[in-house]
Amino acid sequence: MNISLLGCGRWGSFIGWYLDKIGHNVTIWGLPDAPQLIELKTTRKNNMLTFRDSINITDHLEQAVNHAQTLIISISSQALRSFLGTLSKYNLAGKRIVLCMKGIEVNTGKRLTQIVEDFIDEKTQVGIWVGPGHPQDFSKGIPNCMVIDSRHEDFKNDLIKEFSSELIRFYVGKDLVGNEIGAAAKNTIGIAAGMLDGLNLSSLKGALMSRGTREISRLIKAMGGNELSAYGLCHLGDYEATLFSQYSHNRRFGEMLVKGEKFSLLAEGVDTTKALVYLGEKYRVDLPICNTVNNVINKNITAKDGLSELFIRSIKEEF
């Protein structure tokens, strides 16, 4: 397949490397002044991988769009709408779009595929690629399982057939709403896990995992999805990589926030948390963990006080 990766961060560059490795014809695009792209063009390396000469690396967006039938977007979720405004100026007829990114638009509460649908016609096929794993682990040959989902059955089945390998086993998603919300929301739970680490309360991660999954399942159900999706690879299945891994930006953000330190990298869960609070109010779903994380980040409540309130809530049945 001719594939263009739009975005050259740690995920975008890894996906380009991976798809080239399993035999596809790959172009990686990034902004001309992006440090990651400059490094790739200059050295054909980053801190994880070496990129073969078979991969085309460019800062010309039109060239990248024209190269491929399948466009994989991997950028900051909050930048997606602006980027699509630029992307839609080019001829997208017959293109297929895959989002390998996780988030919810903070100002509208829209899922990422909904944002894409604001810019395309109904015939354009759109899918998502979500699930556990870090590029740092994949680059070492450590395998994992992920999910591809789409409203277009033929499209997602074709992607799974073309993208599967011994390194990544793909499952067929059956709940686009649940997989998008679950994938985004795990970053908020990751921030909460980092807060526990920062307070030397890591033993409470078991409770966080149990209650966090239940909380997000309620929201998915209220939004019309299958609540069991929260227990799948998009959410609970991604907890090890998000709540425990040294590579998790969101876990690290929460830990450093508690310690009064600044985290300079992108933590998607910060904006996702605001969006989840908005969705909880819109759909009248109780989201105590999401609300607590939001209060600590945005309302100057200490993590210790916020997390303590979770444990002194009124008596409730577990299920």
Integer-rounded Cα Rg, in Å, for the chain is: 19
Q: What is the rounded CA–CA span in Å between residue 148 and residue 136?
A: 21
62-86 as b/e: b if 16+ CB within 10 A: eebbebbebbbbbbebbebbebbee
- What is the reported pLDDT for 191? 97
pLDDT by residue for the chain (319 residues), tens only, comes to: 999 999 999 999 999 999 999 999 999 999 999 999 999 999 999 988 999 999 999 999 999 999 999 999 999 999 999 999 999 999 998 899 999 999 999 999 999 999 999 999 888 999 999 999 999 999 999 999 999 999 999 999 999 999 999 999 999 999 999 999 999 999 999 999 999 999 999 999 999 999 999 999 999 999 999 999 999 999 999 999 999 999 999 999 999 999 999 998 889 999 999 999 999 999 999 999 999 999 999 988 999 898 888 877 666 777 7
Long-range contacts of 113-120 (CB under 8 A, 24+ apart): 113/176, 113/180, 115/80, 115/81, 115/84, 116/80, 116/84, 118/81, 118/84, 119/84, 119/85, 119/87, 119/88, 120/88, 120/92
95 is catalytic: no
- What is the reported pLDDT for 314? 64
> Which residue, 193, 297, 197, is CA-closest to 236?
193
Of the candidates 95, 156, 186, 221, the residue annotated as catalytic is 186
- What is the reported pLDDT for 44? 96
- What is the reported pLDDT for 83? 98
Q: What's the order of all strands across the beta sheet hosting 144-150?
A: 56-58, 25-29, 2-6, 70-73, 96-99, 125-130, 144-150, 168-172
Domains with residue ranges and CATH for the chain: 2-172 (3.40.50.720), 184-310 (1.10.1040.10)
Position 149, amino acid = D
- What is the reported pLDDT for 156? 96
Q: Specify whether the CB–CB gap between 105 and 84 falls below 8 A.
A: no
- What is the reported pLDDT for 266? 86
Q: DSSP labels for 256-275?
A: HHHTT----S--THHHHHHH
Q: What is the rounded CA–CA span in Å between residue 256 and residue 303?
A: 11
Q: Specify whether the CB–CB gap between 254 and 197 falls below 8 A.
A: yes
Q: What tokens were used for 194? A: 């980092």
DSSP 111: B
